């Protein structure tokens, strides 16, 4: 059910999400992003799984009714699952997309591990590599 709902959401014409996806899709900073990605019982607007970052674009509907409480509960659940949540007002996406992109890449970089798996295993204590002074 969540996957079908995510597929429907991907086809929606939400302008801030469409604009943001255009700049996230080419993998800025070497980061891979997913759009309308299901996690648990939620569908994230965007996610960087490597950085464990959920990115939510909040329109004016998020300021109404019990939405703030629901968002806080969702963020707490995502935190329990190991994800940080970055909430971005839709108006910011529409007014300064470059600044939003820089903020997202920065937030992802802050959450990435110091050691990148593609670099191989970290050196062991006292291990000497060729080319290093002994």
pLDDT in tens, 61-107: 655 667 889 999 999 999 999 999 999 999 999 999 999 999 999 99
Q: What is the DSSP string of 88-118?
A: EEHHHHHH-HHHHHHHHHHHHHHHS-SS-GG
Domain segments of the chain as ranges: 2-119
Residues in the chain: 134
Residue 128 has what pLDDT?
Answer: 53
Say which residue, 37 or 13, is predicted with more confidence: 37
CATH number for the domain running over 2-119:
3.40.960.10
pLDDT at 134: 47
3-22 in b/e form (b: 16+ CB < 10 A) is eeebeebeeeeeebbebbbe
Share of the chain above pLDDT 90, in %: 61
Q: Which residue has the higher pLDDT, 108 or 124?
A: 108
Write down the pTM of the prediction: 0.73
């Amino acid at each position: 059910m969540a996957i079908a709902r995510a597929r429907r959401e991907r086809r929606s014409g939400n302008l801030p999400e469409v604009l943001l996806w255009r700049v996230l899709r080419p993998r800025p900073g070497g980061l891979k992003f997913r759009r309308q990605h299901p996690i648990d019982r939620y569908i994230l607007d965007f996610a960087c799984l490597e950085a464990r970052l959920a990115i939510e674009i909040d329109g004016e509907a998020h300021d109404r009714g019990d939405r703030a409480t629901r968002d806080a509960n969702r963020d707490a659940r995502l935190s329990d699952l190991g994800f940080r949540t970055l909430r971005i007002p839709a108006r910011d996406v529409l007014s300064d997309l470059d600044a939003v992109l820089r903020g997202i890449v920065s937030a992802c970089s802050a959450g990435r591990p110091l050691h990148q798996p593609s670099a191989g295993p970290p050196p062991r204590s006292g291990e000497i590599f060729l080319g290093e002074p002994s």
